[in-house]
Amino acid sequence: MTSDAVARAESRVGKPTALLEVRSLTKRFGEVLANSDVDLTVMPGTVHGLIGENGAGKSTLLKMIYGVYTPDEGRMFVDGNLVAPGNPADARGLGIGMVFQDLRLVPALTVAENIALALPDGPTLKLRALSAKIEAASKEFGLAVDPTAKVRHLSIGERQRAEILKVLMTGARLVILDEPTSVLAPQEVEALLTVVASLRDQGLGIVLVTHKLNEVRAIADQVTVLRGGQAVLTSADPNDFSDEELVEAMVGRRVPPLSRVRQPVPASERAVLELQGATALGDRGYVALKGVDLEVHPGELVGVAGVAGSGQKELCEVALGLRPVSAGSVRVGDSPASGLGPSEAIAAGAVAIPEDPVADAVVPGLSVLEHMVLDGREVPRRGFGIDWQAVDARTTALDERVGLRMAPKKRTLASLSGGNIQRVLLTRELGQDATLVVAAYPSRGLDVANTRRTQEVLLEHRARGAAVLMVSEDLDELISVADRIAVMHDGHLVGVIETAGADRMSIGRLMLGGVA
């Protein structure tokens, strides 16, 4: 089957017929125009970069192509034939495959079993034959995957390869990759781009959804930029545009680069945050933080890099008194030597952006205003209750100071998007004169302009003399704002690198457990 697919794909190479051609697709959700008159053409043997901010309409476009949504207007052609996939199965039958951001694999099953689930292979499982097929296909496409390995034991990069292989084995000739690099270490990104290049060379069409311009530069033959549901650039050659022009196309206005001028970190005797041999258990009971020594001084911004799940979450929680240490010690400001709890950390002047805002900070039924008092600080009282007028005034002041333009105060958090929830929490926490800022993925869900503003606010805290600890999965972001970068691997702090003159690849090697 897979060799058929390749043969078909190869037979198309060199022909002018587009693999996928989308003409004037329009989709409305009630009043909202999610996609308006969008065109997209993917030729065989090319990589098409699709970029745009959150809410620009990328997901809507992909879902129409993949048969999840039916377009209100417009037409789609595959190999020059008019098609209208009514559901994902139709789309797969047309040779369209999709690799989702949250990979659709069952962790408890092996790679072969997961692929068997996706193949229409009759009533019985022929796993041995399938394994042979998988190995053949994985050689053919240059995707190294062990078919007998349980998915749960694979790294994120390996899972992604398994997912891509699954999509290819179902006969896909057009592969859509939805923000595939957002969870990968730099080396894994390189490996993925190599895979994408080899698929392209075999004549497949690739749609690469991303918000990282360097990836577009590295691999995309054409680029389409969506903004507000409209294609601002359609199938353009990325080499014709500068980075600034592409960002302007995405955002709709110029975003000045972050100022590189920084005050040097003032010399200080005593760190605001001090961890000594801090060891802590993770949620599942195994040791997730292993003997970490780290100091963050006043006026210093320390970045934390690492592959997802390397102990960043536990590091932040230990620093905030949310997770007890099983060995070692942790101190925030003048907090007591033993037993740092959440209230003690708050009293010592810590503010926090949680790793998982919805699980850790959002009370669904409560409004934006009501969330503003959930920061652990003194709440204005009135009689038996809370003086909501005073809270309202304070909130307005915070919103002006931070400048992230929160959603209206009466809205419930349950009705807000991830980015808007993040802005509420950022405003509440970063609006205060904290001595310690612990920010986990602060720009999660934010658009380019708000990401930039958030970085500025963090730097303002640093300039004011606060100690800032910032976790990010975007190495470029850390390099642009941090004084030092602490790299984590498997619960250990494997190195602290001065950002000045830091090299992405050597940080990446540390993240993967190697030597810098």
Which residues make up the interface to another protein (CB under 8 A)?
Answer: 320, 322, 342-343, 346, 352, 354, 359-367, 370, 373-376, 379, 381, 383-386, 412, 414-418, 421
Q: Which is nearer to another protein, 50 or 369 (CB)?
A: 369
Tokens of 148: 């007998």
Q: Which is nearer to another protein, 41 or 422 (CB)?
A: 422
CB of 394 to another protein, least distance (A): 16
Q: Which is nearer to another protein, 68 or 379 (CB)?
A: 379
Rounded-to-10 torsion of CA 199, 209, 26, 421: 160
Q: Are 471 and 353 in contact (CB under 8 A)?
A: no
CB of 475 to another protein, least distance (A): 28
Q: Which is nearer to another protein, 344 or 473 (CB)?
A: 344
Helix (H, G, I), strand (E, B) or coil at 99: strand
Tokens of 216: 């577009």
CB of 351 to another protein, least distance (A): 11
Contacts 24+ apart (CB under 8 A), 451-456: 451/477, 452/255, 452/258, 453/402, 453/403, 453/404, 454/404, 454/426, 454/430, 455/258, 455/480, 455/481, 456/258
Please name the helix (run of DSSP H) or strand (run of DSSP E) that holds residue 315, with its range, or none: helix 312-319
CB of 323 to another protein, least distance (A): 11
The whole-angstrom separation of Cα 34 and Cα 23 is: 15
Nearest CA to 35 among 302, 292, 227?
Answer: 227
CB of 360 to another protein, least distance (A): 5
Nearest CA to 463 among 259, 299, 258?
Answer: 299
Q: Which is nearer to another protein, 133 or 428 (CB)?
A: 428
CB of 414 to another protein, least distance (A): 4
Q: Which is nearer to another protein, 74 or 341 (CB)?
A: 341
Helix (H, G, I), strand (E, B) or coil at 334: coil
The whole-angstrom separation of Cα 159 and Cα 361 is: 30
The whole-angstrom separation of Cα 8 and Cα 33 is: 37
DSSP strand pairing (47-52 vs 32-42):
unpaired
- Phi (first) and psi of residue 371, to 5 degrees: -70, -20
Q: Locate all alpha helices (DSSP H) within 342-470, ordered by sequence.
A: 342-347, 357-361, 368-371, 388-402, 418-430, 448-464
CB of 359 to another protein, least distance (A): 6
CB of 319 to another protein, least distance (A): 13
Q: Which is nearer to another protein, 65 or 362 (CB)?
A: 362
Q: Which is nearer to another protein, 28 or 411 (CB)?
A: 411
CB of 55 to another protein, least distance (A): 12
Nearest CA to 319 among 488, 437, 493, 443?
Answer: 437
CA 427 to chain centre: 21
CB of 384 to another protein, least distance (A): 4
Rounded-to-10 torsion of CA 441, 374, 405, 426: -20
CB of 54 to another protein, least distance (A): 12
Helix (H, G, I), strand (E, B) or coil at 353: strand
Q: Which is nearer to another protein, 174 or 373 (CB)?
A: 373
Q: Which is nearer to another protein, 43 or 438 (CB)?
A: 438
Bridge partners (DSSP) listed for residue 97:
175
DSSP for 127-166, please give it. HHHHHHHHHHHHHHHT----TTSBGGGS-HHHHHHHHHHH
CB of 374 to another protein, least distance (A): 4
Bridge partners (DSSP) listed for residue 195:
none
Helix (H, G, I), strand (E, B) or coil at 515: coil
